Amino acid sequence: MLFGPANRVDFVAKFVTANADIGVLDLEDAVAESGKQVARDAIADARPGAGELGAMQLFVRVNAIDTPHFADDMAAAAASGAVGVIVPKLEEAAEVTHVRSVMAEHGLVALCAGIESAAGVHRGVEVASAGVEMVYFGAEDFITDIGGVRTETNAEVLYARSHVALAARLAGVPALDQVVVDYGDSERFEREARVARSLGYAGKLCIHPGQVALANSAFTPSEKEVRWARGILAAAEAAEAEGTGVISFEGTMVDAPILVRARSLLDRAED
């Protein structure tokens, strides 16, 4: 998911060139308070066609529902031709229900919920289960809300980050991991993406086109992982053919959870 400022609609072409799965015109953090209306007008006037987007989905991130911009942002998102909206700082099911009702009025289909406050994390399962297509965890806003200190170790957000991934899993929706604000630090992005995948995240928020390839690489199973999964499943088939309940692969005992993980990894690789 690659973000760009809504007042720079030329970024849509960059989203596509960068091979992002989702391109986001951002009316929230990327646009100054004084420029909100200009940005809304810009995305409504641009309205890229399907031929310009290819396989990429276009979303608009609106301002939070308790701001004076929300209603106008939603109308602009619909006028832009976006398939859906990203709504930041959602904290309870009633807010999701309200957003969905406004979406229905405008013909918007998909909703990504931002979980990035203490209350949002606390009610993460409630938010993720209330009718969203995906969620993201926003570390910067979360730390600001709790009065913490942001560090490169991410230790201060480990609980919240893990809780959002768990909430998304219980709700049956994908979760997207936090932004790496130092967009020039590829090593940090790769490190964070690996951790995010290990926590159960399905992808990552990107703020620079160069981060997209790093994210795609981190969340795509490697050739080594695919070989491992195929070997595991082949060993399971052989054990079943021989009528033995004991499965061993490369000197390691294989049980049911490992088989499930191997099948899931192959499914992801084929996608």
Q: Residue 182: give its domain's CATH number.
A: 3.20.20.60
Q: CB–CB of 157/142 below 8 Å?
A: yes
**Do residues 145 and 259 both lie within one domain?**
no
- The pLDDT profile of the chain, 271 residues, written as one tens digit per residue, is 999 999 999 999 999 999 999 999 999 999 999 999 999 999 988 888 767 888 899 999 999 999 999 999 999 999 999 999 999 999 999 999 999 999 999 999 999 999 999 999 999 999 999 999 999 999 999 999 999 999 999 999 999 999 999 999 999 999 999 999 999 999 999 999 999 999 999 999 999 999 999 999 999 877 787 787 788 788 888 877 777 767 878 877 788 888 888 888 788 777 7
Whole-prediction pTM value? 0.87
Match 């005992």 to its residue by tokens: 253
Closest CA to 44 of 69, 68, 70, 73: 73
Residue 88 and residue 14: Cα distance in Å, rounded?
A: 23
In a 10 Å sphere around its CB, with 0-12 CB exposed, 13-18 middle and 19+ buried, how is residue 93 labelled?
middle
Please give the residue range of the domain that contains residue 233.
223-270
**Do residues 160 and 253 both lie within one domain?**
no
**Do residues 141 and 33 both lie within one domain?**
yes
Residue 44 and residue 114: Cα distance in Å, rounded?
A: 23
**Do residues 120 and 240 both lie within one domain?**
no
**Do residues 49 and 23 both lie within one domain?**
yes
For the chain, the domain total comes to 2
**Do residues 59 and 109 both lie within one domain?**
yes
Local structure of residue 82 (DSSP, 8 states)? -
The number of residues in the chain equals 271
**Do residues 240 and 147 both lie within one domain?**
no
Helices (H), the chain: 11-17, 36-46, 50-53, 70-79, 93-106, 118-122, 124-128, 139-146, 158-171, 186-199, 209-219, 223-242, 256-270
Give the three-class secondary structure for 36. helix
Residue where a domain stops, chosen among 219, 244, 261: 219
**Do residues 211 and 254 both lie within one domain?**
no
**Do residues 115 and 88 both lie within one domain?**
yes
**Do residues 98 and 175 both lie within one domain?**
yes
